[in-house]
Amino acid sequence: MEPVTRPAAPEEQQGYDAADQAARDGMAASSADVPEEHDFYWLLMGPQGLRVAWSVLLFWGLYRVFLFLLGAIALGLDPALLNADFSPTTAFVLELIPLLAILGAGGTLSRIEHRRLMDYNLTGPRRTLHFISGLATGFAVLSVLVGAMAWGGWVHFGPVALRGTQIAQYGALWALAFLLTGFFEEGSFRCYLQFTLTRGINFWWALGMVGAMCLGLMLSAKGQGAWGVYAAALLGLIPCWLLHRAKAEGAGFWQAAWATSTAFGYFHTGNNGENWIGIFAAAAIGFVFCVSVRVTGSAWWAIGCHSAWDWAETFFYGTADSGLAAKGHYLTTSPSGSALWSGGADGPEGSLLVVPVILLLLAVLLALYGRRTAAAQAASTGN
């Protein structure tokens, strides 16, 4: 016969449960006092996948590797590219190489991060409409800048440089070249970097990035217009600090915009003929393009605006573009008077008049899309 067991009395069972619960509570309390160990996986991966710092470093490293390999192939096929003039065919090749490099880097990172390449600020509603709107806005606002300079006597128009079919031929070639410029520069700064930094940056990381760029310019003799970078860095400091103090929703986007816009100005310091106004203008326009990502939901407006601005500046009006004078432009212009207003060798972007024109660009952008975005946000929150 099996032994008969007596069920535990209710008070005995309660005593056991109480003692067992106390032991579990004691173990939990003691484990809470022990610092969490961070292993190698924790250093690499965060809640959203690969940590932002590693993503940015990998993107930059892969871009440099692809750029070196593609550049070596291009120079092997045509060594004259090294000393070629600023023509549409040369510009096309020299913009295609870095574009393919960022596509290679971005494509590799998208696989690692389990994302699509389009996820880096290239999705969103009405992309074609935004792109066309950006094209029209870029040409119109650059025309306002050149018109203001001509009205003040700081730029003079000469004879038309092209005739007949040359106009269409060079116009199309330059359009292709600057479309690649728009894709490369916006793809780098407003697509991958802006998207990636937004998901994991804070004020202190942004300050560190901006400070490192400024320190690098102070210690280096390379590049022109360093004060333009310093000005952009200082201009974003207080607003980003206030957003950080207020713990504002969406502050990460604006911290990222501060870092990427300053980096965009830094990127242009290597151009010949740049002055500090032109460098500051590049950073400020970069910020406007970040705003366009915020209000339109993608970088397509920025790509169109960037491409059309450069096309109008270089081909249509024939002015210098970031210190570069092009071959095969439609109109002929020449700066006159003080470089502070004419831009000198920098072109229209180096004129002080570019500052109110950038504000105009921002105003047009917000007038077109700001109210619609505010209404959509209010609807999503039920207000």
How many other β-carbons are positioned within 10 Å of the β-carbon of residue 106?
A: 23
User: What's the pLDDT band for 7 if we cut at 50, 70, 90?
Assistant: very low
Rounded CA gap, 202 and 251, in Å?
A: 8
Q: Which of 316, 225, 208, 219 is nearest to 264 (CA)?
A: 225
Average pLDDT over residues 64-78: 94
SS3 237: helix
**Is the pLDDT confidence value at 40 over 90?**
no
* Backbone φ/ψ region at 322: left (φ over 0), alpha (ψ -120 to 50), beta: left
Q: Which of 349, 315, 319, 353 is nearest to 334 (CA)?
A: 319
| Residues 121-140 pLDDT 10s | 999 999 999 999 999 999 99
Average pLDDT over residues 311-340: 90
Average pLDDT over the chain reads 87
How many other β-carbons are positioned within 10 Å of the β-carbon of residue 350?
A: 30
Cα–Cα separations (whole angstroms), residue 375 to 67, 123, 250, 301, 369: 43, 20, 17, 20, 10
Higher-confidence residue of 19 and 278: namely 278
Rounded CA gap, 147 and 313, in Å?
A: 12
DSSP 324: B
CA atoms within 13 A on the CB side of 200: 14
Q: Which of 365, 221, 347, 375 is nearest to 277 (CA)?
A: 347
SS3 207: helix
Q: Look at residue 198 in the predicted model and tell me its pLDDT.
A: 96
Which secondary-structure segment (H or E) carries 84? Answer: none
Q: Look at residue 22 in the predicted model and tell me its pLDDT.
A: 45
User: What's the pLDDT band for 324 if we cut at 50, 70, 90?
Assistant: confident
Give the whole-number percent of the chain exceeding pLDDT 70: 83
- Domain ranges for the chain, please list them: 123-373
Q: Look at residue 228 in the predicted model and tell me its pLDDT.
A: 95
Q: Which of 34-38, 86-90, 272-276, 287-291 has the lowest mean pLDDT?
A: 34-38
Rounded CA gap, 123 and 91, in Å?
A: 28
Average pLDDT over residues 238-250: 95
